[in-house]
Structure 1
């Protein structure tokens, strides 16, 4: 039986953990304008108005995934999100989008405070235009040398995302990137992403010098997420080892690594590569035709899984933290769990 003194001691320790957490991610919170320095990873078809507004309303920072949206669609999505939250949120733009300049105009017309540029080194003109328009620019840094290059380009914050993440990934793990980059970058806030599913991990990276964390997979099974019930069920029954990176069979036919849950489509993709390579070697198709056949295999596959619920023929993009997704929860509850876990870790 615990005494009142014991309980007071536990409460005091818990408060110390929360105070320490506030200190560690204060820079990230001030940069984002949020209560918690937790960003929602931008996931195509998933990170739209409902999930984004729920994240921001719960004290985190939602980010719209523009993906392949046209400028008109992005305009509508930002406007709709604004009707659902008065808290800060951002927009993720893909640097390879053919209408990047027009998309930049859209976010500036809406007075967006934060823009995440992803999918490669952004053109310097885009960074400067966003900054001149009053937006803070966040970019992904897959290596220290690129982090320093991005700083020289004028970015306002960095995200380092390891290969444990879902979707398109680089070759290096989060833990290695954190050790490589965090001790050497102090000019801007740095957010850590990839394989983060619990608050203890967030706290650990904060202690290493991060200003906050970005999570995607953890929020797929939020109540507010519009992903199809089948898509969410696939997450709930999966373990970390089920989230695997796509494999390239022949260097002549490049495959951008994507981490997703194994299903019938991922098995067919391997066979498709073999069939295409055999046709090329037999002289039935030329190199360009073969490359396009492989590249187009996944066209529309993410929407097929997320929106239509076809979890066997679609793409089930998920990070290795999927094993920590165990139930459907409101976003606010997920964030509170993460915060409590981080504070408890810092108590210890």
Structure 2
């Protein structure tokens, strides 16, 4: 058994070697960037435990991001990244702030990263990561100089695409070998991560389990909602009329999600009655969730706020320290390899 364990450890280390080397970490595990959650405390804890923390810049102005990076660097000397939203009006300035602070990795999310932003990041010495929702875009990003990709399935929490990780992995992993590819969406156990590593992934990105960790600053009510939830409770937001698109966001069903359905119906009725034009109606629909994530994460209003969570929420059974989560993932992967070797 000891030999099996040793061989399993070596095999697992070899499988995640490319991802760990790219991140500069012990574990080839990235943390998903979650607004209001992925800040200095959680990011530094993940990096200190051997994973790769990522600051969620979101809508932060440059000065606030600069302060958050400095505060994180005061809490860890390990590598971490910054997630920048491509539609941010000050994207170029945010990139420069990351470079001045010697941030090692910049993750572009929320759309196709502009070529000049990619070049600026790379010229400044940072490694660039981008999200690829389809094979054609994965190939395009590789050609544009992106250093690594994340493929995130619709099982993930927060803003999601329409395709599951199971399908994306089959579509993309066999064809993208030039850069490391990290898998994301619905991951909560080491056996699953192991399976994707064996398919050719370089590592994995997890968010939901870290959101409910000891070091997460999320309100206790937010974490308790995760503990009580099942996978089927984490559903995408629903659009009731194609004329008024709703960006799909996966979160726990609560009174807020039910009211959003009623709100859409009321706005649609006003539009049909001529009380609102199309633009005004669209804005009224979009404004419903303004500040809703902060209400849930920081204020603890999990009934009316937006409790973003992936379908892996059903596997969050306790509030663990980050280091324990990472150790569990590794132990589960090793146990799977040992069990396989015992059957051989």
TM-score, L = length of structure 2: 0.98
Alpha-carbon shift at residue 11 of structure 1 (Å): 2.0
Alignment partner, residue 22 of structure 2: 31
- How many positions carry a matched residue from both structures? 339
Structure 1 residue matching 2:174: 3-state secondary structure: helix
Q: For 1:337 and 1:311, locate their aligned partners in 2 and report how far apart those are by CA, in whole Å.
A: 28
Deviations 1:31-55 (A, max 9, x none): 0000010001000000000000000
Pick aligned residue for 1:328 from 310, 319, 322: 319
Alpha-carbon shift at residue 151 of structure 1 (Å): 0.8
Q: For 1:14 and 1:339, locate their aligned partners in 2 and report how far apart those are by CA, in whole Å.
A: 12
Alignment partner, residue 220 of structure 1: 211
Alignment partner, residue 95 of structure 1: 86
Deviations 1:5-24 (A, max 9, x none): xxxxx222122111111000
Q: Does 1:49 align with 2:35?
A: no
Pick aligned residue for 2:182 from 191, 197, 200: 191
Correspondence 1:260-271 to 2 at 5 A: 260-271=251-262
Q: For 1:12 and 1:294, locate their aligned partners in 2 and report how far apart those are by CA, in whole Å.
A: 60
Alpha-carbon shift at residue 265 of structure 1 (Å): 0.3
Correspondence 1:98-109 to 2 at 5 A: 98-109=89-100
Correspondence 1:155-304 to 2 at 5 A: 155-304=146-295
Q: For 1:149 and 1:102, locate their aligned partners in 2 and report how far apart those are by CA, in whole Å.
A: 24
Q: For 2:188 and 2:55, locate their aligned partners in 1 and report how far apart those are by CA, in whole Å.
A: 20
Pick aligned residue for 1:124 from 108, 111, 115: 115
Alpha-carbon shift at residue 102 of structure 1 (Å): 1.0
Alignment partner, residue 341 of structure 1: 332
Structure 2 residue matching 1:184: 3-state secondary structure: coil
Q: Does 1:72 align with 2:63?
A: yes
Structure 1 residue matching 2:10: 3-state secondary structure: helix
Deviating 4+ runs (over 2 angstroms): none
Structure 2: stretches of 5+ with no match in the other structure: none
Alignment partner, residue 3 of structure 2: 12
Alpha-carbon shift at residue 244 of structure 1 (Å): 0.2
Alignment partner, residue 129 of structure 2: 138
Alignment partner, residue 7 of structure 1: none
Q: Aligned-pair RMSD on alpha carbons?
A: 0.6
Deviations 1:80-101 (A, max 9, x none): 0001111000000000111111
Q: For 1:179 and 1:318, locate their aligned partners in 2 and report how far apart those are by CA, in whole Å.
A: 24
Structure 2 residue matching 1:183: 3-state secondary structure: coil
Alpha-carbon shift at residue 266 of structure 1 (Å): 0.2
Structure 1: stretches of 5+ with no match in the other structure: 1-9
Alpha-carbon shift at residue 215 of structure 1 (Å): 0.1
Deviations 1:214-233 (A, max 9, x none): 00001111111000000000
Alignment partner, residue 301 of structure 2: 310
Q: For 2:38 and 2:172, locate their aligned partners in 1 and report how far apart those are by CA, in whole Å.
A: 27
Deviations 1:53-87 (A, max 9, x none): 00001000000000111100100000000011110
Q: For 1:98 and 1:304, locate their aligned partners in 2 and report how far apart those are by CA, in whole Å.
A: 25
Alignment partner, residue 22 of structure 1: 13
Structure 1 residue matching 2:149: 3-state secondary structure: strand
Alpha-carbon shift at residue 346 of structure 1 (Å): 2.0
Alpha-carbon shift at residue 343 of structure 1 (Å): 1.2
Alpha-carbon shift at residue 156 of structure 1 (Å): 0.2
Alignment partner, residue 6 of structure 1: none
